[in-house]
Structure 1
Amino acid sequence: MAVTVEEAPTEGGGATDRRRFNAMAALAGLAAAGHPYLLTGSADPANIGMEQVRLATSLVEDLRRADAAVGADQLCDVAIHVHTRLSTWAASSNYSRAVGDALQSALADLGIQAAWLAIDADRRPEARPYLNEAITRARIADDPRVEVRALTQLSMLLRESQPGEALHCAEAALRVSAGWATPRLTTLLHLRRAHAHAVLRDESGFSREMTKARRELERGTHEDDPGFVHFVNSQELNGIEGLSYLELDKPGRAAQSFREIIANPSPGHRRNQVYYAVHLSQAMYQQGDVNEAARIALDALPAVSRMNSGRITRHLAQVHSTLATSRRATTAAREFVSAYDLAVKA
């Protein structure tokens, strides 16, 4: 089921109502797809068959589509609830060995999705237990593809706080996927390593991994691409490059990368485009161009207000705080600060 959610009208109701409208529309889509059995409080089944496992597996893809449409803030609790429900089934119901292996993989995949939603909802501390559990379940089920997805997500989670461990996770994913990884998956793993090297202030390591990522991306898509690499494209490559240059205190180079994204938008990945636009504002401020930083932030404000992404909301709040307290306050900066304050109150 493709969850398609149109933007709520911008006039009246405010950002909170628009976010609630989008989230409720996405959840209604999940229920319509046949998931109320997992979403509601009906009695746990005494026996589990492949039909229930396939239902849980399809929910992961539906959550991913809903997330792309409306962001993670409202969906995070849904994913956590379903993961808890399915874990109870796994502990208390009867099933065959084959169903048990498939159930382990489904739970691992659902845990990874819950972890991502927690990251995007800016609830990062909640994410790691799901990823640790997912790696264990993937090992039990002997499912290397799910294990690689979990390691890839764990590398992203840890890159700012524990960049050395993030490197190890990406390297482990490269080892596990050797022989079957598609170019886009390999691109993603090199991007994970590139960003971690940048946080570690290792510019040569960053450059080396970016070169490998570009080479792999140029090999194109593949029919065996796993669903979770759908966002790996030139926009994402430029975005990770820009974030890494910010870590390396090179805001000019970062701004060039972010402007490439603005100039060549990826319509199917609107949230990532907005995320990187907010970082472009940050890069321009670090370059000393307060007016341009404020203009970019003001342009991004309506899109951020329409999204359910605590991660992007927090980054824009940091830009607001920087411009509101800057000694280089300008008319443009004051205009953004006022517009932001009004949007927050709406």
Structure 2
Amino acid sequence: MIRAYRNHPYHGRSPLPQTVVAGWLGITQAQLSRVENGPPLVHLDRLTHWATLLKIPESQLWFSLPSRTPTNRTQQIAVDLLAGAPQGIGLSGGSPTTLKATAHEGGGTTDRRQFTALAALAGFGGNSLFDALMLADRKAEVVGMEHVRLASSLVERFRQADAALGADELCDVAMGVHTRLSTWAARSQYSPGLGEALQSALADLANQVAWLAIDGERRQQARPYLNDAITRARIADDPREEVRALACLSLLVREDHPSESLHCAEAALRASRGWATARLRTLLRLRTAHAYAQLNDVGGFDREMTKARHEFDHGPHEDDLPFLQFVTAQELTGIQGLSYLALGRPARAAESFRAISSGPRAGHRRNQVYYTVRLAEAEYRCGDIHSAAQTGLRALPEVRAISSGRTMRHFAQVKSRLDRERSASAREFVDAHGRAFQR
């Protein structure tokens, strides 16, 4: 629309400059260029951002601008989602491509208790989403903007809790929320204008559930959600969510199928060409670099890692997607360390992980703990049994405090390896591990 206006014959033979039109709208030329040349805006948060920035009257919008406090309707939907959601997702026959809800296994008390604890720790309560659980309304036949806004809000809160605590306890809750919202979307009515935003929000939620399944060490359950995210992203014409799903798929299959992981990362790079921000390009280059390392291609790893650091140096951008918050200097160093482990260079890996452990505490606590555990693994592979045991002891209380199956798997591997050693420090760690995790 903006390009058509600038090139309208009314303005003469030459199109109006972007700087002129941007000045009329009260935005910068760079912002106008992103709107004109970027992919369609279907994310509700981006639509809201631009509607607010351009001061478009709410009466002219097909969606409502969010208020500072949740409406009763939004609270009712939150109640229905979390109070009525199933406890888990059942999967049959290996790696299915469809999602299927299972019957309840007992009452919902345990899930509710777990979610209450996680909600309090992650700050959910401050937004009244959990308080709204007492206001269920299960007869809604029309999907409205409240559902879209709630899906986006819940994804952000799942993301916050995951960064702080890990995914184990969140995974079932997130799967239940996805099932509930997807069922509403399939059975209810909504306007054509709402459809793309709804599908995009559900793709965002499916991507988040897939990541929670990966971190919760439930990898077989992740792929159906990524398939769902890609399908919904294409329905919504939302390349951002499709690229995110491809990046997550690259992570999922990297250990078992590194060639497929590389293809997924390269496909994401192609799909994001022309609109990706520097942070997104950083993530995709990291995915590619790690895949090359799994393939033992040192040249490919070095090349992509250099590109990732170059992109990261461009800094954050206002159009960065929310999930990119974890792409920090710590993450670059961590992926570099993991890649060195894959390349059989544990000493270089230990240097990278040690830089993370000795550096400032980042906001992503689970990632910090994960890389500390991998440091113990790298030190053991270097033959430094004492340092590996001491690192394991230092990580022990942190590992107990989070809920990440992926981190626990690697920590159990460290314990298993040190259990073979007879040094005093190794025995001290093994005994402490046994006391900490005894049933």
Could you state the TM-score of these two structures normalised by the residue count of structure 1?
0.89
Give the equivalent residue in structure 2 for 1:160.
255
Spell out the pairing of 1:117-156 with structure 2 (5 A cutoff). Answer: 117-156=212-251
1:184: Cα distance to partner? 1.1
1:159 and 1:271, CA in 2 relative to 1: closer, same or farther beyond 3 A?
Answer: same
Spell out the pairing of 1:173-188 with structure 2 (5 A cutoff). Answer: 173-188=268-283
CA contact (8 A) 1:105 1:146 kept: yes
Check if 1:75 corresponds to 2:170. yes
**Larger relative contact order (CA 8 Å, sep ≥ 6):** 1
The higher radius of gyration belongs to 2
> Alignment identity in percent?
60
1:239: Cα distance to partner? 0.5
Spell out the pairing of 1:203-218 with structure 2 (5 A cutoff). Answer: 203-218=298-313
2:119 to 1, 23, 27: 27
1:40: Cα distance to partner? 9.0
Output one character per residue of 1:186-230: Cα deviation in whole Å (capped at 9) or x when no partner.
011000001111111111111110010011111111111111111
Q: Provide the C-alpha distance between the structure 1 equivalents of 2:134 and 2:212, rounded to a whole number of angstroms.
A: 17
Task: State which drifts further: 114-123 or 41-50.
Answer: 41-50
Give the equivalent residue in structure 2 for 1:9.
none
CA contact (8 A) 1:138 1:146 kept: yes
1:254 to 336, 349, 367: 349
| Partner AA of 2:385 in structure 1 | V
2:431 to 332, 338, 342: 338
Give the equivalent residue in structure 1 for 2:203.
108
1:174: Cα distance to partner? 1.0
CA contact (8 A) 2:330 2:362 kept: no
**1:74 is paired with a residue of what secondary structure?**
helix
Give the equivalent residue in structure 2 for 1:195.
290
Output one character per residue of 1:18-66: Cα deviation in whole Å (capped at 9) or x when no partner.
xx98853333554663545799975141111112211111111111112
Count, aligned residues = 326
Give the equivalent residue in structure 2 for 1:61.
156
Output one character per residue of 1:249-296: Cα deviation in whole Å (capped at 9) or x when no partner.
101111111111122234302211111111111111111110111000
Could you state the TM-score of these two structures normalised by the residue count of structure 2?
0.71
**1:207 is paired with a residue of what secondary structure?**
helix
Check if 1:220 corresponds to 2:311. no
1:21 and 1:240, CA in 2 relative to 1: closer, same or farther beyond 3 A?
Answer: farther
1:310 and 1:40, CA in 2 relative to 1: closer, same or farther beyond 3 A?
Answer: farther
Output one character per residue of 1:126-178: Cα deviation in whole Å (capped at 9) or x when no partner.
10100011001100100111111111111111111111111111111111111
CA contact (8 A) 1:23 1:70 kept: no
Give the equivalent residue in structure 2 for 1:15.
none
1:74: Cα distance to partner? 0.9
1:67 and 1:102, CA in 2 relative to 1: closer, same or farther beyond 3 A?
Answer: same
| Partner AA of 1:72 in structure 2 | A
Runs of 4+ in 1 over 2 A off after TM superposition: 20-42
CA contact (8 A) 2:152 2:205 kept: yes
Output one character per residue of 1:288-332: Cα deviation in whole Å (capped at 9) or x when no partner.
110111000110000000001111111111100111024xx2100
Q: Provide the C-alpha distance between the structure 1 equivalents of 2:381 and 2:191, rounded to a whole number of angstroms.
A: 59
**2:172 is paired with a residue of what secondary structure?**
helix
Q: Provide the C-alpha distance between the structure 2 equivalents of 1:345 and 1:314, rounded to a whole number of angstroms.
A: 16
CA contact (8 A) 1:108 1:135 kept: yes
CA contact (8 A) 1:105 1:137 kept: yes
**1:249 is paired with a residue of what secondary structure?**
coil
1:303 to 398, 410, 426: 398
Q: Provide the C-alpha distance between the structure 2 equivalents of 1:31 and 1:98, rounded to a whole number of angstroms.
A: 32
**1:46 is paired with a residue of what secondary structure?**
coil
Q: Which has the higher helix share?
A: 1
Q: Provide the C-alpha distance between the structure 1 equivalents of 2:346 and 2:394, rounded to a whole number of angstroms.
A: 20
Give the equivalent residue in structure 2 for 1:267.
362
| Partner AA of 1:67 in structure 2 | D
| Partner AA of 1:25 in structure 2 | A
Give the equivalent residue in structure 2 for 1:8.
none
**1:65 is paired with a residue of what secondary structure?**
helix
Q: Provide the C-alpha distance between the structure 2 equivalents of 1:283 and 1:149, rounded to a whole number of angstroms.
A: 30
Give the equivalent residue in structure 2 for 1:5.
none
1:142 and 1:267, CA in 2 relative to 1: closer, same or farther beyond 3 A?
Answer: same
Q: Provide the C-alpha distance between the structure 2 equivalents of 1:45 and 1:80, rounded to a whole number of angstroms.
A: 20
Unaligned runs of 5+ in 1: 2-19
Q: Provide the C-alpha distance between the structure 2 equivalents of 1:243 and 1:332, rounded to a whole number of angstroms.
A: 25
CA contact (8 A) 1:71 1:308 kept: yes
1:236: Cα distance to partner? 0.6
CA contact (8 A) 1:38 1:82 kept: no
Give the equivalent residue in structure 2 for 1:169.
264
Spell out the pairing of 1:42-53 with structure 2 (5 A cutoff). Answer: 42-53=137-148
